[in-house]
Amino acid sequence: MKKCIIASLALLGFVTINAQNVTLNVRLKPIQTLVVNNSQKIVNLDYVTKDDYANGVSSLNTDHLSIYSTGGFQVKVKSANAALQNGGKNIQANTIQIKASAGSEAVNGAQYAQGTTLSANETTLVTSTAGGVNKKISIEYKGAGANAYIDNYIAGQDPTIYTTELTYTIIAQ
């Protein structure tokens, strides 16, 4: 019996244990989402008084955009056209300013564009080197003053409405 145990131990001593390695990867894909506040999908700049035509009007849309980004990003805006249309008349898009600012849940360290004019070309409104979850951006739209739109009312229309679609985009940086 002793010989059997010694023989068994001798055999086990020659058995090698094979170690196996596993490579574990954490693979992070970039995610950027941008959502316009549902209650602010239509923005009106209403010219009602002489002072409105003289000074311009603005509409501040608090928490207008909500973003989610896994890293640095840029938010851009562009108009569908170089001019807002109503029949044969138009108002040049670049007479409207857009100002971005921190919303109620600010993006840490973000840079916000101040007084950017609307254009058919993409214009950067917000730049951030850090990402964020459900961060808010407020947008103020400001129409021209100095009676710039004085000859754009069309008789029989109350009100005369000039329209364009804006497209906001978010891209990784």
Contact 125/100 with Cβ under 8 angstroms? yes
Q: Hey, is 61 helix, strand or coil?
A: strand
Q: Hey, is 161 helix, strand or coil?
A: coil
pLDDT digits (tens, 9 = 90+) for 133-168: 999 999 999 999 999 999 999 999 999 999 999 999
Query: Quick check: bond before 30 cis, omega within 30?
Result: no
pLDDT digits (tens, 9 = 90+) for 46-84: 999 999 999 999 999 999 999 999 999 999 999 999 999
Q: What gap in Å lies between CA 75 and CA 169, rounded to an integer? A: 6
pTM of the model: 0.86
Residue 131 is encoded by which pair of tokens? Answer: 């990402």
Q: What gap in Å lies between CA 145 and CA 51, rounded to an integer? A: 9
Instruction: State the chain's mean pLDDT as an integer.
Output: 92
Question: What is the average pLDDT across 90-98?
Answer: 97
Please provide residue 118's backbone torsions phi and psi, each rounded to the nearest 5 degrees.
Answer: -65, 145
